[in-house]
Amino acid sequence: MQRCSKFPDFEIFQYVFSQDKGARQACLAPVAYGASTPSHDDHSCNIRARGREHREHIWKSRMDELKRLIRDIPDFPKPGIVFKDITTLLSNKRGFSRAIDTLANRYIDRDIDLVVGIESRGFIVGAALAYRLGAGVILVRKPGKLPFKTHSTIYELEYGTDQLEIHQDAIKPGQQVLIADDLIATGGTIKAAVDLVEKLKGNIVECAFLIELEFLKGRKKLDGYPVFSLLKF
């Protein structure tokens, strides 16, 4: 791909618009037809704005594509709960790799030492992310599942209460930790995982999710901790 020395964004511009030929022609039209020629500053500004707009457009359509791979199961596991079934995303080879790669790209330069996955769907997201980031995986599990000495914490769920545990030697103080789960609803589960990581003095880089149920405002429970979710409902 060629890069224009006057317009450093040209490479991005070409990349973005190569997927949208109509928009590329529209943007280049004033120059091609000799209409008022913009200054280099105006022109590069315009290119940047158009580039940003189209990157956002492409991002949104990709995320919408991923959202369509998630299946809603009404009244599971209890009446009134709409369960977000991610098995349909996980079984789609393009969807799964795109979801994991998009999340992993966000942390590629963050020197992540460990990804904490929360039982059980968080194990899938956490392990795949850790592999892409060259990091280790830590399991935060339901009570009685971890074989070594544990720290434990009780928390409230969208449906009931639960308990989570972590091995006492899972994290060394100061290690860079990313916490991953499939979904944030009320935020109780992730808050419990955050507390366990804090107990071991890990440095929490971010809490990452495939899905966020925004109407439940779960991120409020994580006041002060960075949160990122790929797909918002």
> Which residues lie below 8 Å from residue 220, measured CB to CB, with a gap of 6+?
187
Give me the DSSP letters along 209-220.
EEEE-GGG-GGG
Q: Alpha-carbon distance 183 to 194, whole Å?
A: 15
Out of 7, 15, 83, 225, name the contact with ligand AMP by CB under 6 A: 83
Out of 9, 113, 165, 182, name the contact with ligand AMP by CB under 6 A: 182
165 has catalytic annotation: no
CB of 69 to ligand AMP, least distance (A): 14
Give me the DSSP letters along 19-66.
T-HHHHHHHHHHHHTT-SPPPHHHHHHHHHHHHHHHHHHHHHHHHHHH
Q: How far is CA 61 from the centre of its chain?
A: 16
Residue 113 as a binder of ligand AMP (CB under 6 A): the answer is no
CB-nearer residue toward ligand AMP: 15 or 228: 228
Look up residue 66 and give its two tokens. Answer: 């991923």
Three-state DSSP class for residue 148: coil
User: How many C-alpha atoms does 113 have within 13 Å on its Cβ side?
Assistant: 12
Three-state DSSP class for residue 113: coil
Residue 186 as a binder of ligand AMP (CB under 6 A): the answer is yes
Length of the chain: 233
Handedness of CA 9, 10, 11, 15 (dihedral sign): positive
Residue 9 as a binder of ligand AMP (CB under 6 A): the answer is no
Catalytic residue of the set 62, 106, 156, 158: 158
- 């808050």: which residue's tokens? 191
CB of 156 to ligand AMP, least distance (A): 7
Catalytic residue of the set 121, 132, 141, 219: 121
Residue 121 as a binder of ligand AMP (CB under 6 A): the answer is yes
Out of 51, 95, 126, 188, name the contact with ligand AMP by CB under 6 A: 188
121 has catalytic annotation: yes
CB-nearer residue toward ligand AMP: 50 or 141: 141
The piece of 5-13, 59-67, 133-141, 177-185 that touches ligand AMP (CB under 6 A) is 177-185
The piece of 15-23, 33-41, 49-57, 182-190 that touches ligand AMP (CB under 6 A) is 182-190
Out of 9, 113, 165, 181, name the contact with ligand AMP by CB under 6 A: 181
> Which residues lie below 8 Å from residue 175, measured CB to CB, with a gap of 6+?
113, 114, 202, 203
Q: Which residues in this chain contact ligand AMP in the complex, by CB under 6 A?
A: 81-84, 118, 121, 157-158, 181-189, 218
**Which residues does the annotation mark as catalytic?**
121, 158
